[in-house]
Structure 1
């Protein structure tokens, strides 16, 4: 197996649940489900567009730590608590990925880890080996 590198944000949840913000194996980087949270503070309030922008910024920062950029993203998975907000969420996603156009899936879920979160996004990136 290729060398594995785990990336952490220092969130207490990473140790409690047993996960990493991202894992890089070989030329693949997987970014875990990401919500609009910064050190316990909700970012973007009750606005799905703003929450999505904050989530995508966190994903972008994580990818950069792992040696990638948004241009390396080949897939995103978007989990939303209200599919009727798809246009606002999609608008933010388009602003980050409009020219990149990764594969994506958006599905409605009954709830996320906390009711204040409206969207959670995962990403897969592949960098040149």
Structure 2
């Protein structure tokens, strides 16, 4: 089976040597997304709720480009620079991830690229 690079202009371009996502077999693995505006490539202004919303919009675009959707996510990893923002992040996250929530890990980290407060990566099945 060959790996297929997935890319869309509806999500921020990679800020390093990696793809927005890789499709392999019936799975789609996204790279971590932070709250970058897809047009400007800059971190959006806003609190953890606004940043989480932008991250999930970016991931939604990548998933759709790869033939999947947020409803087909099976695993998520969330990285937070402040675990005190866990509840607010969860509120937005719950709006996006459908009725059957994926398995998830949440990790507290010292910092994220560009000063972001949250980063999320996903694994999804393809349609």
TM-score, length of structure 2 as denominator length = 0.89
Instruction: Give the superposition deviation at 1:127.
Output: 2.6
The equivalent of 1:87 in structure 2 is 87
Hey, what's the Cα distance between the residues in 2 that align with 1:67 and 1:8?
11
Gap change, CA 1:96 and 1:47, over 3 Å in 2? same
Aligned mates of 1:35, 1:103 — CA distance in 2: 20
2-side partners of 1:85 and 1:4: how far apart?
36
1:121 maps to 120
Note the aligned Cα RMSD (angstroms).
1.5
Runs of 4 or more, structure 1, over 4 Å off, are none
On the 8 A contact 2:43/2:114 being kept in 1, the answer is no
1:12/1:54 CA distance change after superposition, 3 Å: closer
2:75 & 2:14 partners in 1: Cα distance? Answer: 27
Work out the CA distance in 1 between the residues paired with 2:79 and 2:68. Answer: 23
CA displacement at 1:9 relative to structure 2: 4.3
1:22 equivalent in alignment to 2:24: no
Matched positions, count:
122
Larger strand fraction of residues: 1
Q: Deviations over 1:40-91 (max 9, x none)?
A: 2222x24001100110011011110111111110011000000000011011
Which residue matches 1:76? 76
- What's 2:60 paired with? 60
TM-score, scaled to structure 1: 0.87
Q: CA deviation at 1:126?
A: 1.4
> Aligned partners of 1:95, 1:80: CA distance in 2, in Å?
18
SS of 1:33's partner is: coil
Stretches of structure 2 lacking an aligned partner (at least 5 in a row)? none
Per mean C-alpha deviation after superposition, the further-off stretch among 74-83 and 45-54 is 45-54
The 8 Å contact of residues 46 and 118 in structure 1, kept in 2 or not, is answered as: no
